[in-house]
Amino acid sequence: MTSETDTCIRELEIEVPAEAVEQELARVTQDFARLARIPGFRPGKAPAQLVRTRFDEEIKNEVLQTLIPAHFEAAAREKNLRPIADPHIDKLDFAPGKPLRFRARFEVLPEIELGRYKGLEFERVKLEVTDEDLVQELEALRERAAVLEPVAGRAVEDGDTAVVSLFGLVTQPKEKTSKPIVVEEALCQVGAETTLEAFSQGLRGVQAGEERQIQLTYAGDYPERELAGRTVTYTAKVKAIKRQRLPALDDDFAQQVGEYKTLAELKQKIRENLEAARARREKELTRQRLLDALLALHHFPIPQTLVENQLDARLERRVRVLVAQGLDPQRLDVDWPRLRNAERPAAERDVRLELLLEKIAQAENIEVSAAELEQELARLAQQSGLSAEAVRARLTNQAALDTIKSGVRREKVVELLYAQARLRA
């Protein structure tokens, strides 16, 4: 009997005939008898009833491990149900000489009834490239090309970079095992957003060669776990004062940062890059509106198994980013359960969208050719700096290639819907 609900959960009450149970018990008992060593009997000669009594639990467990999956799969096929994960088994009733009964609870993909998905109408996202954007890009280039020059005859001011040596001791909480923090030379840009305010306050007005005491209490979520929530008293000695000198915006600067003859050429190239980035961002945001409109027209339950898988993938990506930044995720003060819960709405949206796009792909007979798959592998190779052959070699199992192929297929669906959408300016 199947229990239909408004979720993707299904139930099957399954009964295995007593004859099949006894047959499997006899087979497993025979296997045990052949291998078991029982005092007073040569291997394979102990009576079956003695073997079954001595290895009762082990034999029952092996019988269940064989009968439950086989009969569950048969029952699911008979009901035309396709589980997307292993079932949860309960209401187990198992005794020799009687039928084996159990309930299997599992999830299946939802039945999606396609509504309107062609010719969706919504407003196009419009962005602009302003003169201020151009100025910001030029200033960013200037800052990257800036040099630090020594400053003499005055104390540290906002905007200066103080070259300091640091000796720090953890003063709260008092721990005898805390090692001193020693930094021979650190660059501290006073007043910058990236500089802790305690250091900026402590270094303002200090002359080169002078020392200052700086006390700093680190936030509880500070990335370096050894410092999080601790108060450290630093002795900071200013070894030198330097000031950032920005290059002039002229033709020489343009030649310094690239293959440009004039500043006008550099500005033109920056504007072209900004326009290209604007166009890509406009399309990306407009596509998001398209997908939002598509989802709003389709309502169906989603398997929580897929949501949990999506959450696993999201958190795994976050961990990889932290590792790439040189941070140990296990040493960070991160509330992972809370973060997982915060990601749930986005994960549910991703699963809903993936299922819907796959349904449309089936309706539109959209497939991915071998050439398109190779093109995607080449794109991934370019991103990773590897050859297409190396990327394919890393995808050693068919499931990985199928995942990439499904992604390309869904992207083709989105492009189709985008091309058929009615965009309002």
Q: What does the pLDDT read at residue 40?
A: 62
User: 3-class secondary structure for 327-340?
Assistant: CCHHHCCCCHHHHH
Cis peptide before 173 (omega within 30 of 0): yes
Residue with tokens 């959960």: 9
* pLDDT per residue as tens digits for the range 294-322: 999 999 999 999 999 999 999 998 888 88
- 10-residue mean pLDDT profile of the chain (425 residues): values are 66 94 88 70 66 78 92 94 93 90 95 93 92 94 91 92 93 76 92 90 93 90 79 93 93 92 95 95 94 95 94 90 78 82 95 96 93 87 78 70 89 94 85
CATH architecture of 9-107: 2-Layer Sandwich (3.30)
Burial string for 174-188 (b: 16+ CB within 10 Å, else e) reads: eeeeeeeeeeeeeeb
Q: What does the pLDDT read at residue 29?
A: 83
Question: Does the fold of domain 263-424 match that of domain 9-107?
Answer: no
Q: What does the pLDDT read at residue 281?
A: 95
Residue with tokens 């102990």: 46
Which residues neighbour 213 within 8 Å (Cβ) at sequence distance 6 or greater? Answer: 202, 233, 234, 235, 236
Q: What does the pLDDT read at residue 252?
A: 93
Q: What does the pLDDT read at residue 37?
A: 67
Interatomic CA distance for residues 93 and 97, integer angstroms: 12
Q: What does the pLDDT read at residue 295?
A: 96
359, 351 contact by CB (below 8 A): no
* pLDDT per residue as tens digits for the range 205-232: 999 999 999 999 988 777 777 788 889 9
Which residues neighbour 175 within 8 Å (Cβ) at sequence distance 6 or greater? Answer: none
CATH architecture of 147-245: Roll (3.10)
Q: What does the pLDDT read at residue 36?
A: 67
Superfamily of domain 263-424: Trigger factor, C-terminal domain (1.10.3120.10)
Interatomic CA distance for residues 191 and 193, integer angstroms: 7
Which residues neighbour 400 within 8 Å (Cβ) at sequence distance 6 or greater? Answer: none
Q: What does the pLDDT read at residue 3?
A: 42
* Helices of type H across 36-178: 48-54, 56-78, 131-145
Residue with tokens 């920005």: 246
The residue ranges of every structural domain in the chain are: 9-107, 147-245, 263-424
202, 212 contact by CB (below 8 A): yes
Q: What mean pLDDT, rounded, does the chain reach?
A: 88
